[in-house]
Amino acid sequence: MTHAGAPLLRSIEILDQHGTRRSLQIPAERPLTVFIDKRELVTLMTLGARPELLVLGYLLNQRLIDRLEDVQAISVDWDVDAAAVSTRAGVVDLQARTARRTVTTGCGQGTVFGDAQEALDAIRLPDARAARITQGQLYALLDTLRQRDSVHRRAGSVHGCALFKGTRMLVFAEDVGRHNAIDTIAGWMLVHGVDGANKVFFTTGRLTSEMVIKAAQMGVPIVVSRNGVTAMGHDLATRLGMSLFGRAGNRHFLCYTGFERFDAEPEPAPDAHPVRAVSG
């Protein structure tokens, strides 16, 4: 693989409400057209931080490859904004498998190939005894993310994802869309031979059906989001036996599904009607 990371930020001049001109950094979004065995597949809008891992994770999550060994090479050339993927044996029925697309709510990507949803019945996540999270661990990973320097902190307008083992962050990725970020994590896992069985996945994006599907394909049983959960995302997570945490930040969260994986350590609820001392 090439290692063609691109600059993440670009400086521009802005005019603020006080009439002052000043420099500001914004995320450097760019297109990346993916070719697989010389056939154009898709154009992804990306920051370009780890484009090879993004492409690898995209192919994996779209069920176009099953193993790292299926790919011979990935070459990214920013002069033409393209990623060329060479496979060892080709992709069986590539045209038919990519013809049926489902428009999604995803940003920075836009489609999920239809057979990804059909593969859910084959997914087996570890049971609740093998994959759990405590309230203290949840707070610790949120604190780790809060302290991390990031493109979002400096410029906003991007999504971030991370993979944790316990309270240790294994990898962090940011991109213009949450799908690109999760695909980059999936690509990293494939390259490093990391499975998701005892891991926790974090995203800043909302937990829609396609995000739940991708996390499940990565084998991750516990997912935490700074955002909320859609009804279809909730239904799929329940079907898969996955724990979903949403609206998670600081010391606040909502556990939507998979209560059996969560070791709660409840904090005292604030008293809505404090009792006043009566003098006299």
pLDDT in tens, 205-256: 999 888 999 999 999 999 999 999 988 889 899 999 999 999 999 888 999 9
Q: How confident is the model at residue 192 (pLDDT cuts 50, 70, 90)?
A: very high
pLDDT in tens, 259-279: 999 999 887 776 655 545 544
pLDDT in tens, 15-54: 877 888 888 888 888 999 999 999 999 999 999 999 999 9
- Residue 278 is predicted with a pLDDT of 47
Q: Does residue 102 have a pLDDT over 60? A: no
Tell me the two tokens of residue 225. 């989001």
Average pLDDT, the chain: 87
The answer to whether the CB of 85 falls within 8 A of the CB of 2 is: no
Q: Which fold has domain 24-122?
A: Ubiquitin-like (UB roll) (3.10.20)
Tell me the two tokens of residue 19. 């009439």
**Domain extents in the chain:** 24-122, 133-263
Compute how many other C-beta atoms are within 10 angstroms of the C-beta atom of residue 130: 11
Does residue 209 or residue 104 have the better pLDDT?
209
What is residue 270's DSSP assignment? P
The answer to whether the CB of 145 falls within 8 A of the CB of 203 is: no
CATH superfamily of 133-263: Cytidine Deaminase, domain 2 (3.40.140.10)
Q: How confident is the model at residue 280 (pLDDT cuts 50, 70, 90)?
A: very low
Q: Does residue 189 have a pLDDT over 70? A: yes
Q: Does residue 118 have a pLDDT over 70? A: no
Q: How confident is the model at residue 135 (pLDDT cuts 50, 70, 90)?
A: very high
d(CA 215, CA 213): 6
Does residue 76 or residue 106 have the better pLDDT?
76
Q: Does residue 11 have a pLDDT over 70? A: yes
